[in-house]
Homo-oligomer: A and B are copies of this chain.
Amino acid sequence: MKVNKYITIYKDMVRQIESGQRKAEDVLPSENDLCDQYGTSRETVRKALNMLAQNGYIQKIKGKGSVILDREKMRFPVSGLISFKELSETLGKETRTTVHRLGLILPPSEAAKELGTEADEKVWEVVRSRRIDGEHIILDKDYFVKKHVPLLTKAICEDSIYEYLEGELGLSISYAQKEIVVEPAGEEDRKYLDLGGFSHMAVVKNRVFLEDTSLFQYTESRHRLDKFRFVDFARREK
């Protein structure tokens, strides 16, 4: 198993920071020191450090060094491209997933048409609700192009679809176009969730692509307004 050096260094640094071994406002060893420590060249170390900076772990300051940033308020990363299972693991809350609908459909159906598939292209539809701390507050509607995902079962949908896609099927999920809007609650929202009087939902719409740029998934993650939170880290373009 071939492992990239800069990925190794990146993960090692993330571990050190998240474990508290290195604290906010500490300065990392210099790039030259890190070259010695990891037995590699400077450009490779810099690749790892740039990933840390891009993801909000450090700030590089010319002439000084790389300072570790305070990520206290950066919990709950709905940001990026992360599955619900990965999310609930970092949250450490008691969660449960219920599958309400699972089957093959032929677009055009309301949301599946976002996939822009051919008329005879079959699509998996999955509707699930998420219970967190005893309340049903998220409704996830997923649509997968069958060409890329030949089989889906209830068991897979209750566990983690992404784990199955990447692990079992070997799909390389690469990037997503993400959109957040607020919409009136629909019939299914009212049917499957504890809406608590809210008339609208915060909706995260995702169009997910594979490495070869083919669109293979459209998702709507519908959150009860009072429980919705999205956290992100952004750098200013030069």
Contact = CB atoms under 8 A, between A and B. Distances in A.
B180 A230 contact: yes
Interface stretch (A29-37, A131-139, A152-160, A170-178): A170-178
A180 B69 CA distance: 20
Given A67-B213, A213-B69, A235 B59 contact: no
Nearest to A223: B182
Given A181-B229, A225-B200, A230-B179, A235 B174 contact: yes
Interface string A180-196: 11100000000000000
A171 to B, nearest CB: 11
A202 B183 CA distance: 12
Which of the four size classes fits the interface of chain A? 35 or more
A176 B237 CA distance: 12
Interface in A141-158: none
A61 interface: yes
Tally of this chain's copies: 2
A234 B173 contact: no
A18 interface: no
Nearest to A73: B177
In terms of DSSP, what is the predominant structure of the interface of chain A? strand
A225 B179 CA distance: 14
A99 B115 CA distance: 43
A91 interface: no
A79 interface: yes
A212 interface: yes
A233 B175 contact: yes
A234 B179 contact: no
Q: Max chain B CB contacts within 10 Å: which of A7, A174, A177, A235?
A: A177
Contacts of A213: 25, 59, 61, 67, 69
9 contacts: A59-B211, A61-B211, A74-B177, A81-B237, A179-B232, A180-B228, A181-B228, A200-B200, A200-B225
In order of increasing CB-CB distance, the 8 nearest A-B pairs are: A180-B230, A81-B236, A178-B232, A182-B225, A81-B234, A175-B235, A59-B213, A173-B236
Interface of A: 7, 25, 43, 54, 56, 59, 61, 67, 69, 73-74, 79-81, 173-182, 200, 202, 207, 209, 211-213, 225-226, 228-238
